[in-house]
Chain A
Amino acid sequence: MGKDKIMTEKAQTKQTVSEKAGAERTLALWLRLCVLAGMMGGSYQALAQPAQSAQPDLHIRVLAASCAACHGTNGVSVSTTPSLAGMPAQDFLTRMTQFRDSKKTGDVMTQHAKGLTADEIRKLASYFASLPPPG
């Protein structure tokens, strides 16, 4: 109980300190812009759906997060299941299409792939490709 309380207070202090640190915020913003700029030239843009890019795609983020039970938070696996983060979009598409069209009806990934739309699979491919690979 005592230990939990102390840790909690420590975490809160950290939070306050980090929120006040303007320079660090600027750095975060800068990083974000870098990442965004980096993606513009990559496969993300090629696969992005027109007219929807202005709106956050919460549908895909939540669906992708549901994969985390086996493939790890943000697509980074901490076990024997393959990581999805940073996987080239074309590789993801190819694998998922193979699973979806497979005759192996008892295969777990075939069962998942058959439940998704082609559009969802395409967007998941670009989403996972855009996440930082395990490092």
Chain B
Amino acid sequence: MKRREFINTLGAAWLGATVWPLSTGAARNLARARVVVVGAGFGGATVAKYLRMWSDYHLPVTLIEPNAQFVSCPTSNLVLGGSMPLSAITLPYEALVSRHGVTLRRDTVQAVDLQKKQVRTATGPVPYDYLVMATGISFDYAKVPMAQTDAARVRFPHAWKAGEQTANLARQLQHMRKGGVFAITVPELPYRCPPGPYERACQVAWYLKQHNPTGKVLVLDANPGITSKRPLFERNWAEHYAGLIDYQPGSVLSDIDTKTGTVKTVFGTWKTDVLNVIPPQAAGQLARDTGLANSEGRWCDVDFVTYESRNAPDVHLLGDSVDSGLPKSAHIANSQAKVCASGIIARLADRQPDPLPVFANTCYSYVDDNEAMHVANVYRFDPVKKDMVSAEGGGLSDKPSQQEAVDARAWAKNIWHDMLG
């Protein structure tokens, strides 16, 4: 027995003993089932790891992901501010394989055959008994189709999926002319990471303050106001970035001149030097193509006890694709993954899943290189509303602080390790 296996067995023994000793029959059922997880982000990587851990490493799990490495969206705005290199938020998937025995397949899923219960990939079909789709978001360029071409996506990056897009936007900021305008367009809710665009405005303003102090950040927000941590952002902008951040609420993007970068909203025309188009969003394309989106066609309905799709049995959906009133955050995707893993294992072990799941959300935003602030909340399942609802007591920081920047870095390290380590 290898040392690592021994540790795994020991860990499994502890968990099994304290909470749930698996019967021999349950272990046999688990070992026979095939679970396929599509997408290795905060939802997918977490569910793959916890399906292994909580089945005492009996349940075989295949995780399909096209990218060689994970790049974290949380913390990625610091790459724009200049206090974090992209390499520091780029992490390997290896431990999921070596430590947890997940079968990692670097591949792209092209389609799902719900009847045959298999996913079709670039290199062949993969059969499943249970499918977990954690495919994040897709972008909807219907209102600004001119921004959808490959060339336009390079010229006007979204940087709302971290990686090359983030590096591209950082380069554009660094090369912007003195006194130039860096514009961020914010889509209407719901979209991934509600405070993200405003944190980005802080980080760009922080960068400009040091390197291009006559430059400006223009925030064209399709929403009637800042959608998250509003009083904190408003105060921070007034105190630290007055004259640097120009915030325009109710500004739905209606046109982009791709030659000049000039944008139009219902309220006016704006000249820009760097244009960061964060497009309106919907569930991941694969989930939509598989017919899992709800009547409005954008997001997917699930049973919040197991995250099973309301449209397809044995198919589970996680993370930003899910239609819920909850913010689309990394911590929520990570928590949903655990409810889902627990539900799938309970079903295979012929037990009842927890009928009233509860989980927490903590989300930090950095206002510069040194201070951060948070929003925190507990959410619990309401069986009457059939929805996750906010529990008592949640709220915001009083103000940004250095301690919270320490906490934010600790959060990132622990959640990355929780999903990948």
Contact = CB atoms under 8 A, between A and B. Distances in A.
Do chains A and B stick together as partners? yes
B192 interface: no
B414 A112 contact: no
Nearest to B411: A70
B342 A61 contact: yes
B208 to A, nearest CB: 29
A15 B13 contact: no
30 contacts: A8-B104, A11-B97, A12-B101, A14-B101, A31-B10, A32-B17, A32-B21, A58-B19, A58-B353, A59-B354, A59-B356, A62-B339, A62-B342, A62-B358, A63-B359, A66-B331, A66-B335, A69-B360, A69-B414, A70-B410, A70-B415, A73-B417, A78-B417, A105-B395, A112-B362, A112-B378, A115-B377, A116-B358, A116-B391, A130-B18
B334 to A, nearest CB: 6
A118 to B, nearest CB: 13
Contacts of B409: 79-80
Interface string B54-65: 100100100000
B393 A110 contact: yes
A47 interface: no
Interface string A22-66: 001001110111011001000010000000000011111111011
A131 B54 CA distance: 14
B interface bracket (residues with beta carbon within 8 Å of A): 35 or more
Interface in B58-94: 60, 68, 94
Chain A, interface SS category: helix
Interface of A: 1, 4, 7-8, 11-12, 14-15, 18-19, 21, 24, 27-29, 31-33, 35-36, 39, 44, 56-63, 65-74, 77-81, 105-106, 108, 110-116, 120, 127, 130-132
B414 A72 contact: yes
9 closest pairs, A vs B, by CB?
A114-B393, A115-B378, A106-B398, A56-B20, A115-B391, A79-B410, A66-B359, A79-B413, A35-B17
Interface in B346-365: 346, 351, 353-354, 356-360, 362
B334 A69 contact: yes
B360 A115 contact: yes
Contact of A81 (B331, B359, B407): B407
